[in-house]
Amino acid sequence: MKTRHAGFTLLELLTTIAVLAVIVAIGVPNFRDFVRNSRMTAAANDIVTDFNLARSEAIKRGVPVTLCKSQDGATCDADAADPFVNWIVFVDDADPAVADALDGNGEADPDEPVLRQRSISETLTVYTNADARLAIFQRDGFPRSTAAGNVTDFRLCDDRKNEIGVGGRSAARAIRVLPTGRPVVTREIATIEALGGCP
């Protein structure tokens, strides 16, 4: 009796490797863009979530709540030159029962609780309006428009800049903070360019 050995021929193996190489060549760039888009979306969602948290906590607690950039996660940065990649959300009133000149001043004092600390991925570059450092939400949920260094917009960019991405929209993201304090995300190329683009 003859025994038959099952296996692949060299031609079958080479064909399989060639098909696999074509699939990888098509899939890897798409997967890379998928990862970058996911990272961009997550960062934009984090910003929107924390603005909404600050607004809702100000209304719920009936005291000012501040979102400010913070390199150490405990105090607000006074230097407008620092990038807005780390921030905190804190209750800007140590004791709601006592009126104090430090209430709603945009500075994180030791006895004012920090509600959230957040950082953006190092692969993204964040641009904001000039001198943007903070957003102070009053007890009615509206931002204090007279605060120095108010945030009005964020632009999130990576190495693709403001080029056309998926669906004919920008690969970058812009978050505009409306006068009501509500953040709105956009991927419109013209809007992002009007805010300053991705230098």
Select from 77, 67, 75 the least CA-distant residue to 47.
67
Q: Which residue has the higher pLDDT, 63 or 131?
A: 63
Calculate the CA dihedral of residues 148, 98, 51, 107 and round it to 10 degrees: 40
Model pTM? 0.80
Domain 15-195 architecture? 3-Layer(bab) Sandwich (3.55)
Question: Which tokens sit at 158?
Answer: 């990576």
pLDDT exceeds 70 at position 80: no
Q: How confident is the model at residue 166 (pLDDT cuts 50, 70, 90)?
A: low
Radius of gyration of the chain from its Cα atoms, rounded to whole angstroms: 24
CB–CB of 70/50 below 8 Å? no
High-pLDDT (> 90) share of the chain, %: 31
Select from 81, 82, 108 the least CA-distant residue to 94.
108
For the stretch 13-61, pLDDT in tens is: 888 898 888 887 777 777 788 888 889 899 999 999 999 999 999 999 9
Q: What is the pLDDT of residue 157?
A: 92
Mean pLDDT score, 108-126: 89
Question: Which tokens sit at 157?
Answer: 């960019």
Q: How confident is the model at residue 147 (pLDDT cuts 50, 70, 90)?
A: low
Integer Cα distance of 55 and 180 in angstroms:
10
Q: How confident is the model at residue 145 (pLDDT cuts 50, 70, 90)?
A: confident
Residue with tokens 């940065």: 77
Q: What is the mean pLDDT of the chain?
A: 85
For the stretch 58-72, pLDDT in tens is: 999 999 999 999 988
Integer Cα distance of 48 and 87 in angstroms:
13
Give 3-state DSSP helix, strand, coil % of the chain, rounded to 5: 30, 20, 45
Burial class, 76, CB count within 10 angstroms (exposed 0-12 / middle 13-18 / buried 19+): buried
Integer Cα distance of 90 and 12 in angstroms:
64
Select from 126, 135, 130 the least CA-distant residue to 55.
135
